[in-house]
Chain A
Amino acid sequence: MQRRSLLKLGLVSGAVLAVAGGAAVLWRPGIAQGRLTASAREVFASLGYAILQGTLPSEPQARAQAVEGMVERVDVLLQNLPPHVQAELSQLLGLLCTAPGRFGLAGLVPAWADASEAQLQAALEGMRQSGLALRQQAYLGLHEIVGGAYFSDESTWASVGYPGPPIL
């Protein structure tokens, strides 16, 4: 049953990769045994720096910790997602972890960890304005996961002036 949905996204992604000039690629799922793979964690960390720039703490160590905390929470929240959403996310992350996928879907040339904030933000802009629904959907999905995971923790609330729920 999973195979069919895999093939469906595979076809579309294949088309994206072909457009990007990518040949046949070997890719591995971004989620293994219900956890983010190391490469998928890198994708989320880079996205975190780019999406949350301006919101993250400015001090480098606190900043790194805040991003690490967000990635940790993504890892937990994905376990709550139903199987079909997990499967889709796993494919998306798997593709983003390959060079042709990264270029075809995100329009990003350097590896995630090597990309500058400006390069990452240009990639995000390209995705959200893309004429290709798949790239827009990927942008919106990643934006939702990163923002949701970051602000689900109360350590982040003060940065936006939210005092937390009233104590009863």
Chain B
Amino acid sequence: MSNFPDPIRAGLERGWKVLGGAHGALPENITCDVAIVGSGAGAGITAELLTRAGLQVVLVEEGPLKSSSNFHQRESEAYPSLYQESASRKTADKGVSILQGRCVGGSTTVNWTSSFRTPEPTLRYWEQHFGLDDFGREALAPYFEQAERRLNISPWLMPPNENNELLRRGADKLGIPSATISRNVKGCWNLGSCGMGCPTNAKQSMLVTTIPAALDQGATLLVETRAEKLVLARGKVQALHCIAVQPNGAPVDAGKPATTIVARHFVLAGGAINSPAVLLRSKAPDPHGRLGTRTFLHPVIMSAAVLAQTVEGWSGAPQSLYTDHFMDTQPIDGPIGFKLESPPLHPVILATTMPGYGQAHADLLAKFPHTHVLLALLRDGFHAEAPGGRVQLRSDGSAVLDYPLTDFVMEGARRALLAMAEIQFAAGAQEVLPVHEMARPCTSWTEAKSAIEALAMKPLLTKVVSAHVMGGCGLAGSEALGVVRPNGVHWQIENLSVHDGSVFPTSVGANPQLSIYGITNRLAQGLAQRLTGKELALA
């Protein structure tokens, strides 16, 4: 039994309006001021601000409402209940595995807490290429500051775990600067279980911050309910049809809308992939062919090392150190740059990520306590040969991302494998395994270098994953360049906004949660002002 108070159960006992699943039948019709699709980063920030402005808000979440009492730090429970497609979401050709949340709080409930403001080179690129004139560092700073205060975002001051310390040690040896990551935690127990839902409520996810604030102000939350289709007429959303879904996402009652929501304004915040999919299912106008395109993943490449000492990558805060050396030392629109971090390691994710079978695979897994992993996030979207993917609909209306891994991206993946192996050997690794089906453990940097240079950098051979889905409903200063205006309102639909990671015109070039908080904070304040005349700040 958990010895921690559960703020969600306490809220439900106080009478929060939560419906769907075991919480109660969905009403046939709902009328409100603003309907928000999703309950993750963008939805949470928006819900808190709009309810504080006095608006009646309804949130529609496809996943279940789980909370600290349910979080037992077990992959077997977390992946099926908290992640999209049971943590097995894939791109169309299965070249990339995607980790995305699907529960109240969205990805913020299961992310690893890394918090970065949007990098300045990214903002400059948006200004130059997408006409976002008012998205400079200075213009956004107050919105980031508020989000940082609201979510207790600050640099991680505890000593990094060994898995992270190895990144710094290797980088130092090579003269590569590394730095501390800021995290959205309060009283963190340094367990390392962030990806399975925080059992101590230390992580300041939407689940324990903005969503409870909105519910306390009278918002209604529908769970296990999918936003199926917007009814569009005369340039406006007339209604939103929702269906009840089972835990695996299958409709409870095929084809029948369970709830129809009528609202003054609608906000899509279901995350990149799902937000564009709602618009595609609704046959939203898309005169310039932008909808669902330019969807980015920060494709992630990994390198595993074995150390003499124990590393215990499952223990301690994940991702507390990083280096941007391989982004900062080259132009943003040149060969693809990458950010290096150290992910948490647990048995299921390790066994499914490590290539091979039989004795070779067993030998890798047997060294788990001594295993250290680095990952490289490739900064996609800044070059013609890294145009991202496209969200499409399957015949059953579900969303799938077609994301071709181009040769340009895969050459970046090779450079990333080289950089990571060199750092790992400098940190004292006995062996390094580039995570690739054809790679074998190497025992020296010289050996690794020639092995990596000879690897066929092909999709399905190179392990590529993603936990950052961005784009598909891009912000732009002119209609031809994007899906939504600089204030988040859809270019063709006047009472519809998009407030989530799908509004980014490129990838962020950093873990995106704080970019979503900060930018949707500004969009939501603007929306609250337009709807109520009230000036609000998040904190």
Contact = CB atoms under 8 A, between A and B. Distances in A.
Contacts of A1: 395-396
A116 interface: no
Contact of B363 (A54, A133, A143): A54
A137 interface: yes
Contact of B347 (A85, A121, A143, A156): A156
Interface residues of A, number: 48
Contacts of A129: 437-438
Interface string A52-89: 11110000000000000000010001011111111000
Interface stretch (A37-45, A100-108, A145-153): A145-153
A161 B347 CA distance: 10
Contacts of A136: 460-461
A53 B359 contact: yes
B197 to A, nearest CB: 12
A81 B365 contact: no
Contact of A162 (B85, B88, B94, B368): B368
Contacts of B360: 54
B142 interface: no
A4 B94 CA distance: 19
A4 B394 CA distance: 10
Interface string A114-143: 000100010010001100010011001101
Interface stretch (B71-79, B162-170, B404-412, B491-499): B71-79
B31 interface: no
B437 A53 contact: no
A168 B192 CA distance: 13
B86 A54 contact: no
B310 to A, nearest CB: 9
Contacts of A54: 358-363
B218 interface: no
Contacts, number: 132
Contacts of B352: 143-144, 147-148
B395 A140 contact: no
Given A160-B366, A165-B72, A81 B358 contact: no
B526 interface: no
Nearest to A87: B396
Given A82-B249, A141-B94, A53 B88 contact: no
Given A54-B363, A83-B248, A165 B85 contact: no
B55 interface: no
Interface in B80-125: 80, 85-86, 88, 93-94, 97
Contacts of B88: 81, 85, 144
B179 interface: no
A53 B357 contact: yes
Interface string A14-52: 000000000000000000000000000000000000111
Nearest to B86: A80
Nearest to A49: B358
B395 A162 contact: no
Contact of A140 (B247, B358, B369, B460): B460
A153 B76 contact: yes
Given A144-B88, A148-B348, A166 B357 contact: no
B445 interface: no
Contact of B93 (A80, A85, A133): A133
B351 A150 contact: yes
Contacts of A161: 366, 368-369
Contact of B357 (A4, A121, A148, A165): A121
B395 A5 contact: yes
A143 B191 contact: no
B199 interface: yes
B237 to A, nearest CB: 25
Contacts of B260: none
B193 interface: yes
Contact of B85 (A82, A152, A166): A82
A147 B4 CA distance: 33
A151 B359 contact: no
B358 to A, nearest CB: 4
B358 A50 contact: yes
A156 B358 CA distance: 16
B394 A53 contact: no
B357 A51 contact: yes
A121 B362 CA distance: 14
A97 B396 CA distance: 27
Contacts of A147: 348, 351-352, 361
Q: Among B73, B97, B347, B438, find the residue whose CB has the most chain A CB atoms closer than 10 A.
A: B347
Contact of B248 (A51, A81, A162): A81
25 contacts: A5-B395, A50-B358, A53-B357, A80-B80, A82-B86, A82-B249, A82-B250, A83-B248, A83-B396, A83-B398, A85-B86, A85-B88, A86-B248, A121-B357, A124-B357, A128-B437, A143-B352, A148-B351, A152-B347, A152-B348, A156-B347, A160-B368, A161-B366, A162-B347, A168-B199
Given A54-B360, A55-B365, A82-B86, 15 more contacts: A1-B395, A54-B358, A54-B363, A80-B86, A82-B249, A83-B396, A85-B86, A128-B461, A161-B366, A161-B368, A162-B368, A165-B73, A166-B73, A166-B191, A168-B4
Interface of A: 1-2, 4-5, 50-55, 73, 77, 79-86, 117, 121, 124, 128-129, 133, 136-137, 140-141, 143-144, 147-148, 150-154, 156-157, 159-162, 165-166, 168
Interface of B: 2-4, 72-76, 80, 85-86, 88, 93-94, 97, 189, 191, 193, 199-200, 247-250, 314-315, 346-348, 350-352, 357-363, 365-366, 368-369, 394-396, 398, 437-438, 460-461
6 cross-chain pairs, A with B, having the tightest CB-CB distances, nearest first: A54-B362, A165-B73, A152-B76, A80-B80, A147-B351, A151-B347
